[in-house]
Amino acid sequence: MHYFNFKKNNLYCEDMKVEDLAKQYGTPLFIYSSRTILEHFLKLEQAFKEINPLICYSVKANSNLSFLKLLTSQGSGLDIVSGGELYRAKKVKCPGNRIVYASVGKTDIEIEEALKYGILMFNVESVPELKRINTIAKRLNKQAAVALRVNPDVAPKTHKYITTGKKENKFGIDMDTVKDIFQKSKKYSNLNLIGIHIHIGSQIIESKPFVEAIQKIKILIEDFKKQGVGLEYLNIGGGLGITYDNETPQTAIEFADKVLPLLKQISLKVILEPGRFIAGNAGILVSKVTYIKDTPQKNFVIVDAAMNDFARPSLYSAYHKIVAIKNNKKKRKDGKKADIVGAICESGDFLGKDRELDVKEKDYIAVFGAGAYGFSMSSNYNSRPRAAEILVKDKKIFLIRKRETYHDLIKEEIII
């Protein structure tokens, strides 16, 4: 579900004509729909209202400050993975007690900053990290709240780069070690072990692997209860898939129907960490056609966005729907398909392969599903300034990140 629709052959974001936005702000351009973002958040909140979970939006999916502000002012917490993301959380004044912090490689300074800000808890991924947090908390004379990220060893059907809950992945701690840590919890004098965290992967379109993982965790938590270990939180991570092509992922309600019975039995305060579910379909990337290059072997639509702006197709062979923002239904007269490619000097630089698009030079195209892991994964490769970002909200348009300039590209560099 999203608010990017065609009206009389023109693509709109909510009530705004995308062509007008592209002309006004230039391309490549990320356009976000605040109504879509908020409705996704509310859908999850509604689906789980019986247990009133803390929903911590996963900042990495789209970390623009206005995006974060929109969600935190709606009551969302934030799931962060770096000092930079903590800095962003502070900038939007997200209360510390709504921030959870994962990552396999938290540095001393990152741990210290998070402790000082008073985050709700660290999601800890290894024994050395646990020791490090304990030492730093002791030095600061603080108690650090910790959830152990358990690796439940389940296999969601998704791309191997975004599978995180298998035992060969670098994430989380195996069950036996988790039990051992709780048995020896006294030695961590400055830690409060208050929760269990899981996150099994991303773009998971069925509920089964989630259920499987929660079932495994339930047994662990029941064991702990018998031993008198008092836990407060169960964080079931993010990972809910969305529709990019013709997938039919579980809806928030279907997901809740499957996992709520288990969560109610476990009876701990629940945390969710959705990223893509909230942001993914709330954004498009608009780009302008530079050239049409037809060759004897293949046809190319060369556009002004590239893999530096949007890495998912190149990195994960991810499919994203691409449309002409005007007269989208028209097909090339010769019936040929084309690859939609950028200007970067790599054959892996493409946004889509074998697409039927009837476009000509200077036409605009839109890449759908670009709200999550789009701008946040963009780079300056080939010395390309990063795109501008705009947010449509309450019938108004807000520039939420200016297009970078050539000066931005070199401003931190030093000629010796």
| H helix or E strand, kind and range, residue 303 | strand 299-303
Q: Reply yes or no on whether 345 is catalytic.
A: yes
Site string for ligand LLP, 371-410 (x = CB under 6 A): -xx---x---------------------------------
How many residues touch ligand LLP under the rule CB under 6 A: the total is 22
User: DSSP characters for 359-404?
Assistant: --TT-EEEESS-TTTTGGG---TTT-PPPEEEEEETTEEEEEEPPP
Q: Of 409, 401, 404, 405, nearest to 64 (Cα)?
A: 401
Q: Is 79 in the site for ligand LLP (CB under 6 A)?
A: yes
Using N-to-C axis directions, what is the helix angle for 208-226 and 252-266, rounded to 10°?
10
Contacting ligand LLP (CB under 6 A), which of 237, 249, 342, 371?
A: 237
DSSP conformation class of 160: G
12 vs 67, beta carbon nearer ligand LLP: 67
Contact segment (CB under 6 A) with ligand LLP among 19-27, 199-207, 330-338, 398-406 equals: 199-207
- The number of residues in the chain equals 416
Q: How far is the CB of 314 from ligand LLP (least distance, A)?
A: 11
Nearest to ligand LLP of 22, 119 (CB atom):
119
- Residue 187 CA to residue 242 CA, distance in Å, equals 43
- CB-neighbour burial class of residue 209 (10 A; exposed 0-12, middle 13-18, buried 19+): buried
Select the span of 131-139, 215-223, 253-261, 270-278 touching ligand LLP (CB under 6 A): 270-278
The verdict on 275 binding ligand LLP (CB under 6 A) reads: yes
Q: Taking the CB of residue 239, how many other CB atoms lie within 10 A of it? A: 29
Q: How far is the CB of 259 from ligand LLP (least distance, A)?
A: 14
Q: How far is the CB of 363 from ligand LLP (least distance, A)?
A: 27
Neighbours of 290 (CB within 10 A): 14
* AA identity, residue 300: F
292, burial (CB in 10 Å: exposed 0-12, middle 13-18, buried 19+) = middle
18 binds ligand LLP (CB under 6 A): no
Cβ-based nearer residue to ligand LLP, 343 or 377: 377
Site for ligand LLP in 288-317 (CB under 6 A): 312, 316
CB closer to ligand LLP out of 199 and 386? 199
Is 350 among the residues that bind ligand LLP (CB under 6 A)?
no
Residues that bind ligand LLP (CB under 6 A): 58, 61, 79, 102, 162, 199, 202-203, 237-240, 273-277, 312, 316, 372-373, 377
